[in-house]
Amino acid sequence: GEGLPRPEQTRVIVVANQKGGVGKTTTTVNLAASLALHGARVLVIDLDPQGNASTALGIDHHADVPSIYDVLVESKPLAEVVQPVVDVEGLFCAPATIDLAGAEIELVSLVARESRLQRAIQAYEQPLDYILIDCPPSLGLLTVNALVAGAEVLIPIQCEYYALEGLGQLLRNVDLVRGHLNPALHVSTILLTMYDGRTRLASQVAEEVRSHFGDEVLRTSIPRSVRISEAPSYGQTVLTYDPGSSGALSYLEAAREIALKGIGVSYDASQAHIGA
């Protein structure tokens, strides 16, 4: 793939929105694959007990597989659970198994319960350009662990009615974690997903989101695309499932925008490889 500037330090990006079905997992795996295809080394941490990100990356995550549960609850080194993603060089995944469903409760009684993921990441010695963390649709201790571990929050927003509803709660949690546990934490990126430019509703929601969040909203939005929704059932991202599709191109473009923003280069939409 086309090379992009690599960050000086590992960027840890938390993909969060406590609403389900807004495109968190889809965005995590496809952005991660896009960044890897652009030449970066990328780790996806699956923090949702459903394990959808692990499935979409074709990673074995049956009950006995060493997983992020072991890292969080049993203090197993992250390096012992990370698996390479077949077909995408530079892409890795720390899978979630069904055990993780219990972690929300088990973490409560553990020491440093909010910072266990942060510690695991700090102890991980393999060089990485990006870590993307796929959060569950809740604001419990798993998501708090992600917010303590990362500096950046990426919020996918589905362009539909009530798109902004519930976001206040997420933003308050980000403020709380910043105030008490992780001063570097900030919402760096908003990504509009499942965007259908033909509908008035989608463009109204997009306008509302842009007026609310301004520069954090990526110029690139992700179109609604059947190819994107089909890819996970083949254990693939859309980047390998259908590399020429609009969905693949939009995620590559979003990755480019994120990489450039990270080094302070403002994004010139007129140079976009696809229509904005």
Binding site for ligand ADP (CB under 6 A): 20-26, 52, 137, 193-194, 222, 224-225, 228-229, 247
Site map for Mg ion, 41-80, x if CB under 5 A?
-----------x----------------------------
Q: Does 25 bind Mg ion (CB under 5 A)?
A: yes
Q: Nearest distance from residue 136's CB to ligand ADP, in Å? A: 9
- Judged by beta carbon, residue 87 or residue 230, the one nearer ligand ADP is 230
Q: Nearest distance from residue 105's CB to Mg ion, in Å? A: 20
- Judged by beta carbon, residue 52 or residue 240, the one nearer Mg ion is 52
Ranges of H-type helices in 20-84: 24-37, 52-56, 68-74
102 binds, among ligand ADP, Mg ion, none (CB under 5 to 8 A by kind): none
- Judged by beta carbon, residue 170 or residue 194, the one nearer ligand ADP is 194
Q: Does 24 bind Mg ion (CB under 5 A)?
A: yes
Instruction: Return d(Cα 132, Cα 41) in angstroms, integer.
Output: 11
- Judged by beta carbon, residue 1 or residue 58, the one nearer Mg ion is 58
Pairing of β 186-193 and β 83-84: unpaired
CA atoms within 13 A on the CB side of 130: 33
Query: Based on the number of CB atoms within 10 Å of its own CB, is 87 exposed (0-12), middle (13-18) or buried (19 or more)?
Result: middle
- Judged by beta carbon, residue 6 or residue 24, the one nearer Mg ion is 24
- Cα dist from 209 to 135, 221, 244, 250, whole Å: 21, 12, 28, 19
User: What residues pair up with 44 in beta bridges, in sequence order?
Assistant: 93, 132
Under a CB-based contact definition with an 8 Å cutoff, are residues 12 and 153 in contact? no
Give the footprint of Mg ion on this chain (CB under 5 A): 24-25, 52
